[in-house]
Amino acid sequence: GENVEQHPSTLSVQEGDSAVIKCTYSDSASNYFPWYKQELGKRPQLIIDIRSNVGEKKDQRIAVTLNKTAKHFSLHITETQPEDSAVYFCAVSGGYQKVTFGIGTKLQVIP
Amino acid sequence: DSGVTQTPKHLITATGQRVTLRCSPRSGDLSVYWYQQSLDQGLQFLIQYYNGEERAKGNILERFSAQQFPDLHSELNLSSLELGDSALYFCASSLSPTATDTQYFGPGTRLTVL
């Protein structure tokens, strides 16, 4: 089955700095890569997703880049704010295969 | 608010007992997924239903079972509960049966087994 690795497991940044979280996957047939943000005790919420026919997608301060050849994709958050503090999960799926989630990255934005 | 509802919000029970968790998908969504999230762990896929039929199975224990009813709500049944079953249980819904469709998560049910 699919194997997803997510790094780092924890990340602390100063407010205003950028944060980057990276995920690698194993199945070259995977073609859907969403990112979820989960605040403590709350539901995972989709913040951005990318499909394999594009290499980059942006939504205000959030961007995702995809390198299908190397089988990795990254989440970039610019101008971080305290409310960005949460756990971020990457996920991978393709066709009729189930979604596989990464282990999560705990992001702390220090005011 | 994602439009996905789950009840109850919290559940406290004892080892050996059986509980039922309920999920109502977003209006129009036909797929329901169940996930388990243990403390400091990622999301583990348990099972998926699409339009009443089981679609995919993940790491679901034999003590656990699920079903989706004609009105599309789903129930996850957990039996012979063990301490290690304590976790957050999320359901998610999507329109189509494919895992490449965006999934919207419910607020979760926190299960505590004492």
Which residue of chain B is at minimal alpha-carbon distance from A89?
B42
Is A86 in contact with A107 (CB distance < 8 Å)?
yes
% of chain A residues with pLDDT over 70: 97
Looking at residue B84, its pLDDT comes to 93
Could A101 and B90 be called an inter-chain contact, meaning their C-beta atoms sit closer than 8 Å? Answer: no
* DSSP assignment of B53-106: EEEEE-S--TTEEEEE-TTS-EEEEE-S--GGG-EEEEEEEESSSSTTS--EE-
Looking at residue B101, its pLDDT comes to 86
Task: Look at A7-21, A92-106, B39-53 and tell me which has the smallest mean pLDDT.
Answer: A92-106
Q: Which residue has the tokens 């393709």?
A: A94
Distance to chain B for A51, nearest Cα, Å: 9
Q: Which amino acid is at B113?
A: V
Could B90 and A43 be called an inter-chain contact, meaning their C-beta atoms sit closer than 8 Å? Answer: yes
Query: For residues B53 and A75, what is the distance between their CA atoms, to the nearest angstrom?
Result: 35
What integer best gives the mean pLDDT of chain B?
94
Looking at residue A95, its pLDDT comes to 59
Query: For residues A57 and A62, what is the distance between their CA atoms, to the nearest angstrom?
Result: 9
pLDDT at A7 over 80: yes
Q: Which two tokens stand for residue A44?
A: 């995972």
Interval A43-53: pLDDT, tens: 999 999 998 87
Query: For residues B38 and B110, what is the distance between their CA atoms, to the nearest angstrom?
Result: 10
Q: For residue B107, list chain A residues with Cβ-Cβ distance below 8 A.
A: 42-43
Query: For residues A5 and A24, what is the distance between their CA atoms, to the nearest angstrom?
Result: 5
